[in-house]
């Protein structure tokens, strides 16, 4: 959805249906709250009786009555103190609470957080997100506008950045939430072409014959069993005057049955999510273009299904990747790394300043870190840059080792490398596999198997696709530009 955002109106004269104000856990009001408290002297007592303590994530909505020019007042808790991420979460929780009103007015951006308006706009827009494309009677969104009452919070530039990030996250969520039947590679290509046209980017598409001719052996092998043929997509954002270059590679497995090493039925239920890496890259590039960042970005998106037919890749098969290395396939359900091998090889040929790949790659990353934290591997400098960017963006990642002795776990007796190692340390051996194709320059790998999908709705994150990683990749681009 698109939300009208107005900035700078005074709270006393702002026109809207619901007013959103913050309260801390000690009972003190955040920016603008005092204005409400003066006009609604019974509000604090009511909140206390309702069990509202100002704790982080708490939301309480009360009628405005005659005391204020709003039909309702929504009070959102901030906890003991507020930072950028807790402000995003508070804005998301407030958005969900007052989504039935046409216009919301808020003073959240007046809190003492740098660029607070960005956090509020992002949290509010991300919190309003719904995916009802396939419902026979989709509920129309009631809310149409958000008013930031009072000057502050970084002004219009912060508003624009929050909006661009929210747009990128919404794009990623939409693509991931779409059922596999409705997003075969050719349909995803059309989405990429639309984004390229809207933002003045160039795009190159390899069809199934061109994939073979270009030496993308991993993508050809994984896609061999699919009725919907694979595609390799290369999207270029190249603003005039940009000096630094960033290559982003996203895993685009549209649906993963496991191939002949088939998954159990329950393991396939959410496998439309297996292209979340590519969707994250696409959402980030759109946000980078919308923000007009001065950096060259090449997005490499291998798209394919991993399904079963008489043509499917078999355990024991050997193929040659784009960089000439041969790969023995022992488990066809370890397919994401095979298409990333080609994408990384292509990225390395351009010798960018940094390569980052994003993938729902291993269950082992979820075992190690749970479902809220992404694993980050890579060369030392690149890994630090990504971890720092994620911290600045408010997304949870953890640096992981590329333990050199584990490399022998993926030695093959018949090829240069095999696609699986021992049971233990699976996220590490998968990352070590990818390193073989990432060239000699700075490279980082983000395994988003856990946080790419949420099992429940909370604050600005809905149930289903989360859009995790978009903000981190944008921050990576900004950090690389400034370095």
d(CA 171, CA 475): 18
User: CA–CA distance from 144 to each of 37, 74, 141, 163, 294 (Å)?
Assistant: 27, 17, 8, 14, 32
Please state, in angstroms and as integers, the Cα–Cα distance from residue 435 to each residue in 150, 245, 287, 429, following that order.
50, 19, 27, 10
Q: Which residues pair with 63 in a beta bridge?
A: 72
Please give the Cα distance from 460 to 464 (Å, whole number).
12
First to last CA, the chain: 35
Q: Helix (H, G, I), strand (E, B), or coil: what is residue 367?
A: helix
Cα 390 from Cα 384, distance rounded (Å):
10
Q: Which residues are catalytic?
A: 263, 337
Cα separations (Å) of 424 from 230, 362, 399, 408, 441?
32, 12, 18, 13, 28
Share of the chain residues as helix, strand and coil, in percent rounded to the nearest 5: 40, 20, 40
Burial of 322 (0-12, 13-18, 19+ CB in 10 A): buried
Among the listed residues 100, 129, 91, 74, the one whose alpha carbon sits nearest the alpha carbon of residue 459: 91
3-class secondary-structure state, position 14? coil
Instruction: Give the three-state DSSP class for 107.
Output: coil
Beta carbons within 10 angstroms of residue 241's beta carbon: 5
Three-state SS string across 184-237, please?
CHHHHHHHHHHHHHHHCCEEEEECHHHHHHCCCHHHHHHHHHCCCCCEEEEEEE
User: 215, 244, 202: which is closest to 441 by C-alpha?
Assistant: 244
DSSP states of 391-446: HHHT--EEE----GGGGGGG--SSSSEES---STTHHHHHHHHHHTTS-SS-EEEE
CA–CA dist 44, 38 (Å, integer): 10
The token pair at 253 is: 């497995």
Cα–Cα distance measured from residue 299 to residue 407, given in angstroms and rounded to the nearest whole number: 28
How far apart, in whole angstroms, are the C-alpha atoms of residue 331 and residue 411? 14
């Amino acid at each position: 959805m698109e939300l009208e955002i107005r900035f700078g109106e005074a709270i006393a004269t702002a026109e809207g249906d619901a007013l959103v104000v913050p309260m801390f856990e000690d009972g003190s009001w955040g920016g603008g709250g005092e204005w409400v408290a003066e006009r609604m002297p019974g509000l604090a007592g009511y909140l206390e009786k309702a069990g509202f303590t100002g704790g982080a994530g708490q939301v309480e909505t009360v009628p405005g009555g005659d005391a204020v020019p709003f039909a309702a007042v929504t009070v959102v808790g901030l906890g003991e103190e507020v930072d950028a991420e807790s402000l995003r979460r508070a804005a998301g929780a407030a958005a969900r609470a007052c989504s039935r009103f046409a216009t919301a007015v808020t003073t959240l951006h007046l809190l003492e957080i740098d660029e607070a308006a960005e956090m509020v706009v992002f949290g509010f827009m991300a919190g309003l997100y719904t995916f009802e494309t396939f419902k026979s009677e989709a509920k129309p969104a009631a809310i149409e506008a958000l008013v930031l009452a009072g000057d502050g919070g970084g002004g219009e530039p912060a508003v624009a950045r929050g909006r661009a990030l929210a747009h990128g996250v919404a794009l990623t969520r939409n693509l991931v939430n779409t059922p596999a039947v409705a997003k075969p590679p050719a349909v995803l290509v059309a989405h990429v072409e639309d984004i390229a046209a809207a933002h003045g980017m160039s795009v190159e598409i390899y069809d199934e014959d061109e994939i073979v001719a270009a030496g993308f052996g991993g993508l050809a092998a994984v896609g061999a069993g699919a009725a919907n043929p694979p595609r390799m997509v290369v999207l270029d954002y190249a603003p005039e005057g940009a000096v630094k270059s960033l290559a982003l590679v996203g895993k685009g497995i549209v649906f993963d049955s496991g191939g002949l090493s088939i998954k159990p039925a329950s393991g396939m239920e959410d496998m439309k999510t297996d292209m979340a890496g590519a969707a994250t890259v696409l959402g980030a590039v759109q946000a980078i273009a919308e923000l007009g960042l001065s950096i060259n970005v090449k997005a490499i998106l291998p798209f394919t299904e991993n399904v079963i037919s008489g043509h499917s890749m078999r355990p024991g098969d050997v193929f040659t990747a784009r960089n000439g290395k041969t790969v023995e396939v022992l488990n066809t359900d370890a397919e994401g790394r095979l298409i990333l091998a080609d994408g990384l090889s292509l990225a390395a040929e351009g010798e960018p300043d940094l390569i980052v790949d994003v993938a729902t790659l291993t269950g082992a990353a979820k075992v190690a870190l749970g479902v809220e934290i992404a694993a980050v591997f890579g060369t030392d400098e690149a890994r630090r840059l990504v971890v720092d960017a994620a911290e600045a963006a408010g997304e949870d990642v953890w640096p992981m080792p590329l333990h050199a002795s584990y490399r022998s776990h993926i030695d093959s007796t018949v090829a240069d490398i095999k696609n699986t190692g021992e049971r233990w340390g699976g996220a590490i051996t998968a990352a070590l596999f990818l390193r073989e194709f990432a060239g000699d320059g700075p490279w980082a790998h983000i395994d988003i198997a856990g946080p790419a999908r949420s099992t429940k709705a909370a604050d600005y994150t809905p149930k289903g696709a989360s859009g995790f990683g978009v903000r981190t990749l944008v921050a990576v681009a900004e950090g690389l530009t400034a370095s």
